[in-house]
Chain A
Amino acid sequence: MEPLSNKRKVLEAKPMTFLERIYLPAIFQGLAITIKHFFRKPVTIRYPEEKREYSENFRGLHSLKRDEQGRERCTACGLCALSCPAEAITMIAAERQKGEENLYREEKYAAVYEINMLRCIFCGLCEEACPKEAIYLDGPHVQSDYLRKDFIYGKDKLVEAPLNQ
């Protein structure tokens, strides 16, 4: 058969030498390697007590940000939902009423904002698409749960805690 590349290397199976055939030197070599590991420091992280640090660019749970006056930044433009490759984000927009200026920064806000965490692939495209710097994937990982419906996170779980609390 014609070789596809000329990287072919012919291996010669040499007969084993006497030392190789009695195995013992190889066995002692192996024992020496394992005993070296015996005295090495274990690499274990004892999980519930010790937690491994997330890396700096780790993309975890989403959070909806507030501005410096504690108002929600999201204006329900839908760009995040549009950019989402997994179609995990849905929202219902509403108009800001008089007297709600301390709650929402823009005249339009998201009355309902839901992310299905089972669909989300944590790619961070929503974060890039947002013109208002309202969504960031800066949380921890998503907790496990029993029911599918419990993985649809609403505003109660996503919006940042108010400033003065």
Chain B
Amino acid sequence: MGIAELLIKVALVVIIFLISLVIAMYSTYAERKVAAFLQDRVGPDRAGPFGILQPLADGGKMFLKEEIIPTNASPFLFIAGPSLAILTACIGSAVIPWGQRLTIGAYTFNLQVTDINVGLLYIFGVISLGVYGVMIGGWASNNKYSLLGAIRAASQNISYEIAMGLSIIALLMTTGTLSMRHIAEQQSGFWHGHWFTWNAFSQPLGFLIFIICAFAETNRSPFDLPECETELIGGYHTEYSSMKMGFYLFAEYINMFVSSAVMATLYFGGYNFPFMHHLGLSENWVSILGVIALFIKIFAFIFFFMWVRWTIPRFRYDQLMDLGWKVLIPLAIANIVITGIVITFFK
């Protein structure tokens, strides 16, 4: 690897890191605005025009709050919890292909940090690590509410990961690869032959299961039991204050961003958009438009996450477990069987 390629990679890492932080910041603002609009209110509108400086004000507030570590808490784990949560949230975006290749001068490079051939497994590994941040934080707080929140988070994530993995297996049977870039490339364009190229159209059941599990994995409503305010005060972050609390909230929004990106890449064509091969534009322009298309898809998913949060009430815990084990897992297995039959007999 030459020095120029290394520089490009470093620049790409920094840009993606900054983008995910900025999007997470503005997701908090968007969340409040969406909530307000869905409830016929105006939302935050005091800090700057339309309140767009609100995330900065919130961040400043978080940093200036008093840092409290409870006497009976384990100090090392108490700090490790939020650190782990934000770390695992940030590294998930490394294998997502953000666009096709871009040529600048003599250099041609992929808009992706790394294209490993087990990209999908890597993402699953990282997402399942995320639960440790929650668990360690809840355990280290030495508080019953936190502990209950942490236990709920752990069992919820483990249950839904199974269904998520099974829904992915059906997808892998049709794509035949684990590399995120190959999966995205297979969905090139929008219509090929006599059927859509995007996986959501050939795997609708798998996509439904995946999106439900994504809600559960990111601890978003209606699966936000680990932090439900009415029963568990704040759940696992009851004892947290200041920026440690901020990191937990931030991690949730980054997770939302990453899982939106994963959903867009796996099921909604990633950086591909309709008529991309018929516009007559140069390759660079198609790549740039592709990046924009991907981000539009991601924002649509983030909006969907918020829309659902402000519509649907929370599940009861036994209902949550019922849904995970008795409905989603059998459905996912049935989906694998159906996919297998279709592939064997019709292709």
Contact = CB atoms under 8 A, between A and B. Distances in A.
Interface of A: 27, 30-31, 33-35, 37-38, 40-44, 46
Contacts of B37: 37-38, 42
Interface stretch (B9-17, B70-78, B304-312): B304-312
A42 B41 CA distance: 5
Interface residues of B, number: 14
Contacts of A31: 307-308, 311
Residue of A33, A34, A43, A44 ringed by the most chain B CB atoms within 10 A = A34
Interface of B: 34, 36-42, 45, 307-308, 310-312
Contact of B40 (A30, A33, A35, A43): A43
Contact of B41 (A27, A30, A43): A43
Mostly, the B contact residues are loop
Given A34-B307, A35-B307, A27 B40 contact: no
Contacts, number: 36
B42 A30 contact: no
Contact of B38 (A37, A41, A43): A37
B40 A42 contact: yes
Contacts of A30: 311-312
Nearest to B308: A31
A40 B38 CA distance: 8
Contact of A38 (B38, B42, B308): B38
16 contacts: A27-B308, A27-B311, A27-B312, A34-B307, A35-B38, A37-B39, A37-B40, A38-B34, A38-B37, A38-B38, A40-B40, A41-B40, A43-B41, A44-B41, A44-B42, A46-B42
Contacts of B39: 37
A27 B311 CA distance: 8
A27 B312 CA distance: 7
B42 A42 contact: yes
B100 to A, nearest CB: 33
Q: Give 3 nearest A-B pairs by CB, closest first.
A: A34-B311, A44-B42, A42-B42
A112 B34 CA distance: 56
Contacts of B307: 31, 34-35
A27 B38 CA distance: 15
Contacts of A43: 40-41
A33 B312 CA distance: 11
A34 B310 contact: yes
Given A30-B311, A30-B312, A31-B311, A42 B36 contact: yes
B323 to A, nearest CB: 9
A38 B308 CA distance: 13
A44 B45 CA distance: 12
B108 to A, nearest CB: 43
A14 B219 CA distance: 33
Contacts of A37: 37-40
Nearest to A28: B311
Nearest to A31: B311
Contacts of B41: 42-44
